[in-house]
Amino acid sequence: MRTPARDGASEGMSLVDPRVMDPDHELVVREHLSAQEIEETVAVLEAMSSWRERERSMSEQARRYMRLGETDMRALRFLIAAQRQGVVTTPGSMAAHLGISPAAATKLVDRLEAGGHVRRIADTDDRRRTSIEVTESTRVSARASVGRSHARRFDAVAGLSPDDRRAVIRFFDALLESSEWTVPDEGAHD
């Protein structure tokens, strides 16, 4: 059962309902929708907001459990996925995946290695090149926290009908297409 998103808001306060947030129809065009269609649309937006808040909370719990920061967790997820697929990961490939500089990747690997989460492995052919592997203890911890959460999400999606899964994919594709950030004109906030 879904509970309404709160995001720190007062009980009953909506942060996603355009009837509340955009009463003058300045941004959200909704004249073509019936009252029921608006209610259903707002219910979807509230469900998304609730999920986003739950996902943030679960991610924070996993980071605290593993005593890591957000970038550290992203790095470990990448490393674990690479290892499972037999892909050799270097500090450079990790930097590219995370969108960080090589220097930042080196510091990240140093920090993860000092915490016992990863180990560097020298290339036998080129000693200047190293790969990175997640330690067994960290792999087990990640599996117990993040892995179990992912398995439950997979089960939720697998429980949908094929038509419902296709509808969800169309929905997320439409969200992705609509998710371009635009910077307002300089005078817009005056």
Q: Which helix (H) or strand (E) holds 151?
A: helix 148-158
Does 165 score more than 50 pLDDT? yes
- Residues 133 and 121 sit within 8 Å (Cβ to Cβ): yes
Does 1 score more than 70 pLDDT? no
The pLDDT of residue 9 is: 46
Does 5 score more than 90 pLDDT? no
DSSP-assigned letter for residue 186: G
Average pLDDT, the chain: 84
Cα 185 from Cα 183, distance rounded (Å): 7
Assign 117 a pLDDT band (cuts: 50, 70, 90): very high
Cα 91 from Cα 107, distance rounded (Å): 10
